[in-house]
Amino acid sequence: MNIVISDGIARIFGDHVTVKNNLPAKTYQVCFNKMSGFYLMSREDLEIKEEVYGNSKKKVSKVLQSFKATNRNLGVILSGQKGIGKSLFVRTLAKEALNVNIPILIVDTAIPGIADFISSIKQEVIVVFDEFEKTFAPLDGESPQEELLPLFDGIDNGKKIFIITCNETNKLNEYFLNRPGRFHYHFILNSPTPEEIKQYLMDKLEVKYHNLIEKITSLSFVTDITYDILRAICFDVNQGYSLQEVIEDLNIFKEGDNDYYLEIKMNDGEIYQSRDIWLDLYSNTVVSYGIEPIQHGIRYAALGISFIPSTFKVINNQIQYNVSNVDIKLDEDEYYRFDKSEVKTQMALDSKKKPVSVILRRSNKSKYQNIVV
């Protein structure tokens, strides 16, 4: 029989009780029971099952070095779209932390009082809140994120690293962002670069499919590519499916969040643009859009352009269309800015316009866009 007395309460346990002054360097799940309260359950360590690409290893080392140098808690926000590598970053950090005897605590449930429980742990630990904005979303007028603010600010004998991962930073409490005293780092994980994509494909694609590397890499110039997407593409291509079939069948590129605009240079040197458009680049159906001259005076006419989206080519890192596959159309209704006597003359002039280049550009509206300084 073993008796543990805490806060004046005596609890009786069996012979398999071990009392320690510190948590062993393992991975634990933060759990709660209505009868006994909060406790830690040992669980399997966060394994790294694939190669780490990009600069994640460098960032992980930076976090651990800064934690060693500070005498207070260190907060880290990991943000970015789904499948971009946030979980892999956490797994890499967890592995390195365990190597230097720092335990890992996983929090996946918002329960009142959890901040006090974590604060009661008086040793160095890493606390991971995965998909934080979902787990700690406002509910019934209550904001569980606010309860955690004192925890993140706290300075006690057991300094901690707090890691929160999120897909949508706009759902974080306003006191989280731009507060380096609370969250020292905010790592925005972006899509891999073309060079990183090529390296990944070299490693994951069977050699007989290496001829597809340039084509797959070109997708990064027309849409956001994640490592999750690359893994899925490689998996199906390695089974022998054509790249076209893979793109059509996989659960990718179908959310409709790719905004573009067209830029067309005419044979007379004039440049036309469309407004921002949404485009399914893998559609084989003809689409039409209006385009207007960039430098237009009081009187101008919008023209129409028609093409098949899937016929694009990536040339010099630009999405381009063969001008022979593009139709320019005139609409008399668009000449309302001209005097009636001038319409036919202007239409005759515009009918001679021929595109010499048609470029599709990404609209810079990504919610994960970085500020470059």
Q: What pLDDT sits at residue 367?
A: 36
pLDDT tens sequence across 228-271? 899 999 999 999 998 888 887 887 765 544 678 999 999 999 99
Q: Is residue 234 part of a domain?
A: yes
Q: How confident is the model at residue 369 (pLDDT cuts 50, 70, 90)?
A: very low
209 shares a domain with 71: no
Q: Is residue 369 part of a domain?
A: no
Whether 99 and 150 share a structural domain: yes
Q: What is the pLDDT of residues 137-193, one digit of tens each?
A: 887 777 889 889 889 986 666 799 999 999 999 888 888 999 998 999 999 998 898
Q: Could you tell me if 319 and 342 lie in one domain? A: yes
Claim to verify: residue 26 and residue 161 sit in the same structural domain:
yes
Give the helix/strand (H/E) hosting 42.
Answer: strand 37-43
Same domain, 117 and 162: yes
Residue 344 CA to its chain's centroid (Å): 51
pLDDT in the model for residue 98: 96
Stretch (H or E) spanning 164: strand 160-166
Number of domain units in the chain: 3
Domain match, 27 and 166 both: yes
Q: Say if residue 69's pLDDT is above 90.
A: yes
The CATH number of the domain holding residue 43 is: 3.40.50.300
165 with 200, same domain: the answer is no
Same domain, residue pair 314 and 272: yes
From CA 276, how far away is CA 292, in angstroms rounded?
12
pLDDT in tens, 8-43: 776 777 777 777 788 999 999 999 998 889 999 999
Residues 6+ apart with CB under 8 A from 254: none
Is residue 36 located within the same domain as residue 174?
yes
Closest listed residue to residue 104, CA positions, set 183, 38, 42, 173: 42
Tell me which of 219 and 294 has the higher pLDDT: 294
- Condensed to tens digits (0 to 9), the pLDDT of residues 83-136 reads 888 999 999 999 999 999 999 999 999 988 999 999 999 999 999 999 999 988
Domain interval for residue 137: 22-183
* pTM as predicted: 0.74
Residue 332: inside a domain:
yes
Instruction: Say if 10 falls within a structural domain.
Output: no
State whether 177 and 289 are in the same domain.
no
Paired with 40 in beta bridges are: 30
Per-residue confidence (pLDDT) for residue 278, from 0 to 100: 81
